[in-house]
Amino acid sequence: MSQAILKLENIEAGYERQRVLHNVNLDVFANDFIGVIGPNGGGKTTLLKVMLGLLSPFSGKVTFLDPKTVIGYLPQVNSIDKQFPINVLDVILSGLGKRRKWWHPLPTSILKKAYALMELSGLSGMHNKAIGELSGGQMQRVFLCRAIINDPQLLILDEPNTFVDKNFEEDLYQILSELNERMAIVLVSHDIGTISSFVKTIACVNGNLHYHPANKITNEMLKSYNCPVEIISHGTIPHRVLKNHNNHD
């Protein structure tokens, strides 16, 4: 078996004096598509921040197989200042990070790539729009373009389906499946019913992490993982609807 591109070992992490993650272990392989589920406050976002290097764990090890691994990141839309004066094209280009010299003019190849990504995600002709003029769903697509323009080996998405209209949601998962052939994907969602049909494996985060090496989840399984998740069902997308449950006993 190939080596994990990202290895989390015995991670203890949190904020100030409050520990959120306890003894978390996770291996991410090159073609993984991991759905991260769990209750609010269970540590999903904390786990992402540790992976992204935004939060240093109290203890434990985060190891990348290749220290130069490029990570694409799609944050929650809520964390963004929507009145910031920046246009769509600039947001997408910001995904290039430090890869290019800033004082050089933009090469046309990069611009072409940005426009191609916009077209792919239904944003044609919007390059000059201010970020604040977009709907929540359009903003999500812009952030997806920004996350993948640098051809990451690992794509990390925090609740990408919030605000996304149902039509695009299907497209979104289609695009993600295609991207998955080239990169590992870690996707956080509260919407377990929808994601379970698209992801390959599932990690349930509720203080600690339970890894489930398949995308079929059952009530019993969630119970044994101590993972109370609210299940929301949606119309047109194939999904499993699971009973709501409470297992704090």
Could you please report the per-residue DSSP string of 199-246? -SEEEEEESEEEEESSS---HHHHHHTT--------SSS---------
Name which of 79 and 236 has its Cβ closer to other proteins: 79
Judge whether 146 and 96 are in contact, CB under 8 Å. Answer: no
Q: How far is the CB of 75 from other proteins (least distance, A)?
A: 6
Name which of 126 and 232 has its Cβ closer to other proteins: 126
Judge whether 36 and 205 are in contact, CB under 8 Å. Answer: yes
Name which of 98 and 243 has its Cβ closer to other proteins: 98
Q: How far is the CB of 18 from other proteins (least distance, A)?
A: 13
Name which of 57 and 95 has its Cβ closer to other proteins: 95
Q: How far is the CB of 112 from other proteins (least distance, A)?
A: 18
Which residues contribute to the site for other proteins (CB under 8 A)?
A: 16, 52-54, 71, 73, 75, 79-81, 84-87, 90-91, 93-99, 102-103, 128, 130, 132-133, 146, 150
Closest CA to 180 of 205, 206, 198, 158: 198
Tell me the residue length of the chain: 249
Q: How far is the CB of 204 from other proteins (least distance, A)?
A: 24
3-state secondary structure of 61: strand
